[in-house]
Structure 1
């Protein structure tokens, strides 16, 4: 890939888009998309750029019939050759301990994809063809994309394709696109904030803007703001979140993403440090937490209520939060793999808009990762469809430096060519 810069060259601006121009734009977009949220900061996404003749032909066939078709170029326009990208789930990086974690992997990939496409569009590279893979929400996608005809011969077996897109450069679109530096700044400011929030209510008109159309694209957004609903949700977390801590395989997987030194976090480029979870810690406190969070400790103490204690501590943070966000799939029944990817795009847009308004989020996924608590939550709070995202939202009571952003892999680590 080429060096970072904020837009395609003047050659592309005249209508003749070269591969070098797109390579630059992709580098810029990937650096922004790499800041997307993901469960356990596992970053399970990958993007393949079809550059060989065979790969371009395979991706073009996969787009027929395209879900989106852009307007035809006028006879006087200089034709711009399209580029094809494939979003994939990297099976080497996905969480596996619980079936519901597959949904979180789709949401994580969808959020990354949305931010990548927004950053490309901000440089004039808009998608005029898009097709999502078939399959059910809980069905792991196959290693082979269901291409009409042969797929790319060098497709990595560890990658499960989720979506293929065709992009073209348009100088007019670039002039009208969202501001790229602003998008980069907002993505950089976004982070999970697990500390207490300021107690004052959020303005109703702000919540309405966050909700958008109801529902949009088969995804509903609901805010719980009444005293009764917030108290009931905190009680629900206290009662059910302990299951996540007491489930042996799930907690061992979670623990495997804890990084106990800054150097380890930097080297691995994923997971989270104790400082990211709990804020600044003294050395004795950090040592005590290491012992308390160890899988052996969880296994030994789960019979005396230790997971319930941790759940109550989480509930104590939830209780005073001014608002809670619930997103759910209300479209296809049963939900599809495509719904999961679209859900991630909705999460990305919501979180970035909230960040731009000075708000922070803290997802509470523990009560959604097990089937029985999730269904109880949907019934208790009259959630339409399948809930896939539950989060605190508010204004931070502590400054951002107290909770640093998680370390990430290099932006280019998710990119490959086929």
Structure 2
């Protein structure tokens, strides 16, 4: 598939070709959030008879066998997409990364489907696929699902979606494009003034953007949004960050993986299309300090410096920023052990929330380290009285300084004809 810029005008009539609409949507969704900006997603467009038969069968569509093969009731009316996790791009150093990767894929899927809906392609059927690896077989619907020879070996299918052409959604494609591009992590200091309660209430309850997933499936556990604004509770979160935040730097395997995503400079980041620069981590740095930070953050140096408490110093610095932020937001699953479908939905909720915050003029800085280890996460849930399992915690506020957005891989690289 060839790449098409989302900035190009979309034909105003209802007959937008699906291939064009998918390319435009992928350009927008490429700017979805993901841990370390690793972008671990993929989307297969079912075009072969094998892939379409598998997708239709999974969705429970009536299948009629004829002399020419199989015929599906919706064969000529819909398009099928398969959202996948790309194992070659996922983080693997911690067990918790498995959930983070599914969250990232769910966020990408939500933005992709919302961009398609804005062009008149609405999701009306959804079926989750168990991502647990199993041996492939013609009758084993939990294994590679026989989407055909063109299905990438490294891709693990997560869900199948059917889309049908309809009137474009009320969401404006240009507005969605601009909001998604404006959304990015800001790790700088935030304005300490409190956020209006009405704004937080709207962010807690608005779920209009989830129509793409919500309308397509019937199950899925609830996700609760909790804003932490009281001084005592914000101090409690900061205390946990101070105590546990050093693990991000002292865990050799995890830090080596994190460090592999730190790019040398803007040119390197642009060429690679993923990860982040020191400027995106710490803001504008002088050339000497940039060199110093590059040396200090190297895995070998970090392994030595942790013996003198450098990792704890970095944790205290992050904790101070959390304490000075006007709010922290936590997203929680109702179920303590959510299944893969619920986790993908959680990613859709996260995308919806982050875009809503962006429209409200707010920025976020995820503080994932207190969720990546069970003891820290459990203590967070207990101290804040969270209603379930937390899967996303972030600083929330208005930016004082601008942080540059991260670079992205070519949108077409996440698309495959199968």
Q: Which moved more, 1:231-240 or 1:84-93?
A: 231-240
Give the direction of change, closer, same or farther, for the CA distance of 1:116–1:319 in structure 2 (3 Å limit). Answer: same
User: Which residue matches 1:334?
Assistant: 337
CA distance in 2, matches of 1:141, 1:369: 23
User: Which residue matches 1:200?
Assistant: 193
Give the direction of change, closer, same or farther, for the CA distance of 1:80–1:177 in structure 2 (3 Å limit). Answer: farther
User: Which residue matches 2:110?
Assistant: 114
User: Which residue matches 1:234?
Assistant: 238
Contact 1:46-1:159 within 8 A present in 2 as well: yes
CA distance in 1, matches of 2:46, 2:61: 19
CA distance in 2, matches of 1:253, 1:228: 34
Q: CA RMSD in A?
A: 2.2
Aligned pair partner of 1:349 in 349, 352, 367: 352
CA distance in 2, matches of 1:236, 1:83: 47
1:391 shift after superposition: 0.2
Aligned pair partner of 2:205 in 198, 201, 212: 212
Give the direction of change, closer, same or farther, for the CA distance of 1:141–1:337 in structure 2 (3 Å limit). Answer: farther
Give the direction of change, closer, same or farther, for the CA distance of 1:99–1:189 in structure 2 (3 Å limit). Answer: same
Aligned positions of 1:12-91 closer than 5 A: 12-13=14-15, 21-64=17-60, 81-91=77-87
Contact 1:8-1:24 within 8 A present in 2 as well: no
1:9 shift after superposition: 6.9
1:7 shift after superposition: 3.5
1:142 shift after superposition: 5.0
Give the aligned length. Answer: 388
Contact 1:8-1:25 within 8 A present in 2 as well: no
1:279 shift after superposition: 1.0
Spell out, residue by residue over 1:188-247, the C-alpha distance to the aligned partner (whole angstroms, 9 max, x if none).
110100000001111111111111179x95111100000111111111110111112111
User: Which residue matches 1:177?
Assistant: 170
TM-score computed with the length of structure 2 as normaliser: 0.88
Contact 1:124-1:177 within 8 A present in 2 as well: no
Give the direction of change, closer, same or farther, for the CA distance of 1:395–1:36 in structure 2 (3 Å limit). Answer: same
CA distance in 1, matches of 2:154, 2:142: 21
User: Which residue matches 1:412?
Assistant: 412
User: Which residue matches 1:372?
Assistant: 375
1:282 shift after superposition: 1.0
Give the direction of change, closer, same or farther, for the CA distance of 1:376–1:94 in structure 2 (3 Å limit). Answer: same
What residue ranges of structure 1 are gaps of 5+ in the alignment?
67-77
Give the direction of change, closer, same or farther, for the CA distance of 1:210–1:58 in structure 2 (3 Å limit). Answer: same
1:52 shift after superposition: 0.9
User: Which residue matches 1:168?
Assistant: 164
User: Which residue matches 1:394?
Assistant: 397
Q: Which runs of structure 1 show a deviation greater than 3 angstroms over 4 or more consecutive aligned residues?
A: 1-10, 140-146
> Does 2:303 match 1:309?
no
TM-score computed with the length of structure 1 as normaliser: 0.88
Spell out, residue by residue over 1:151-184, the C-alpha distance to the aligned partner (whole angstroms, 9 max, x if none).
22212210000011000111xx21x431000000
Give the direction of change, closer, same or farther, for the CA distance of 1:368–1:64 in structure 2 (3 Å limit). Answer: same
Query: Helix, strand or coil for the counterpart of 1:319?
Result: helix
CA distance in 1, matches of 2:406, 2:186: 11
CA distance in 2, matches of 1:143, 1:79: 28
Q: Which moved more, 1:301-310 or 1:28-37?
A: 301-310
Query: Helix, strand or coil for the counterpart of 1:46?
Result: strand
> Does 2:192 match 1:189?
no
Give the direction of change, closer, same or farther, for the CA distance of 1:272–1:377 in structure 2 (3 Å limit). Answer: same
CA distance in 1, matches of 2:135, 2:111: 24
Give the direction of change, closer, same or farther, for the CA distance of 1:236–1:409 in structure 2 (3 Å limit). Answer: same
What residue ranges of structure 2 are gaps of 5+ in the alignment?
63-73, 208-219
User: Which residue matches 2:261?
Assistant: 257
CA distance in 2, matches of 1:180, 1:339: 27
